A and B are shown apart, each in its own frame.
Chain A
Amino acid sequence: MPTIVVEVMPKAELLDPQGKAVTFALARLGSTAPQVGTYSEVRIGKRFELTVDEATEAVLAEVKQFAEDIFSNSVIEDVVSLYVLEDPALAGSAAVSL
C-alpha cells in the first residue's frame, strides 16, 4: 500500500530551541567526534506518514489540506514536502509539488 509523506519544518526565521540545543550538543562533541565538521545550525522538523489504500488525486488533495490546516500551523511552520512513497507493486501515483 502506498504511503503519503508530509514533512513540516519550523519557519526559518523563527527560533527552533530544540534544534539549537542539538547544535550546541554537536559543538560540544568537539575533537572526540569521529569526523569533526562545522555544523552551524541544526533544525528539527516533523514527518507524517499516511498509509492509504490508494493515493488518488482526491486523496492527495485532501492530505494537502490536512497538511496545511492540521499537521502544520502556518504561523510557525511550513509544509516543505508532500510526496508518495510508492509500493513497488503499484505504479502511477506521482508526487505532488507544493
Chain B
Amino acid sequence: MRIGVVTFPGSLDDRDAQRAVRLAGGEPVALWHGSHDLDGVEAIILPGGFSYGDYLRAGAIASLSPIMSEVVDAAGRGMPVLGICNGFQMLAEARLIPGAHTRNAHQQFIRRDQRLRVENADTAWTTGFVEGQEITIPLKNADGRFVADDETIKRLEGEGQVAFRYIGVNPNGSMDDIAGVSNKEGNVVGLMPHPEHATEAGFGPDTALAMSSGTDGLTFFTSVIEKALIK
C-alpha cells in the first residue's frame, strides 16, 4: 500500500512517519506541501512538527497550503488520513475533524510516554486494536489542549468519534481527556501523541519487559494496510 507523508516547512516527524509505514509493510511516498499532486497514494499522513513555526495558530497556515485542498478532497472521498500532533492541529484547522487546540493548560511543553485507551477500534487507523485496549506511545507538544463547545463534545462522545483518551494523566488539559478524534465516517483520525515513535523495539517507550521496547504505535499503520488488503 502506498501511503503519502506530507512534508511542510517545519515538519519534524515526516521521516519517522515514513519509517513507520515501511516497518508496517507499506510503501512510504514523500508528498510536498506546495504541490497539488497526491502521487496516487491510497492513504495520507500529516506528520508532527511545527509547520510555519506555529505562527498564527498551530497548523493554521499549513491548513491553507496547496496540498491540503487535495487532502480535504481525498478525505471527502473516504481516503484514510492520519494527523499526528501538528497534523492533528492541521486537521482541526482544515475542519476535517471538529474542535481545536490551544496552549497546554499548564503552559509547558511536555514530553512523556503516555498511556491511552483506544475508545474506537473501528476507524481506518485503529482496526488492529480492540476497544478498550490500553497502549503507550510518546507524547510531545505545547499546543495540545483539545477543546470544543459542549454540544460538539457531547456529539463526539455520543457518536463514538473519541478515538483515544488519555489515562493516568491528562497531560495538557484536553476536554474529557480526549487524546484523539475521528471524523464521522472514521477515515480521518487525528491525535496528539506519536504512534510513529513506537514502531520498532529499541526505539520506543519503556515496557514492563524491557527498556524502549514499546511498539504499540505500529498497529496504527498495520491497521490501515490490512484493511486495504482485505478490500
Is B33 an interface residue, CB under 8 A from the partner?
no
A15 in contact with B107 (CB, 8 Å): no
A15 in contact with B173 (CB, 8 Å): yes
Shortest Cβ distance from residue A36 to the other chain B in the assembled complex, whole angstroms = 25
By a CB distance below 8 angstroms, the chain A residues around B127 are none
A73 in contact with B60 (CB, 8 Å): yes
A15 in contact with B64 (CB, 8 Å): no
Query: Which stretch, B11-19, B70-78, B95-103, B188-196, touches the partner chain A?
Result: B95-103
Q: Tell me if A's interface is mostly helix, strand, loop or mixed.
A: mixed
**A17 in contact with B102 given A70-B64, A75-B149, A76-B147 (CB within 8 Å):** yes
What separation, in Å, do the CA atoms of A7 and B216 have in the docked complex? 44
Is A71 an interface residue, CB under 8 A from the partner?
yes
Q: Tell me if B's interface is mostly helix, strand, loop or mixed.
A: loop
B107 in contact with A75 (CB, 8 Å): no
Nearest 8 A/B pairs, CB to CB = A75-B100, A76-B100, A17-B107, A17-B103, A73-B100, A76-B102, A21-B107, A73-B57
Question: Could you tell me which B residues sit within 8 Å of A by CB distance?
Answer: 56-57, 60, 64, 92-93, 98-100, 102-107, 145, 147-149, 173
15 contacts between A and B (CB under 8 A): A10-B102, A14-B102, A15-B173, A17-B104, A17-B107, A70-B56, A70-B60, A71-B56, A73-B60, A73-B93, A75-B92, A75-B100, A75-B147, A76-B102, A76-B147
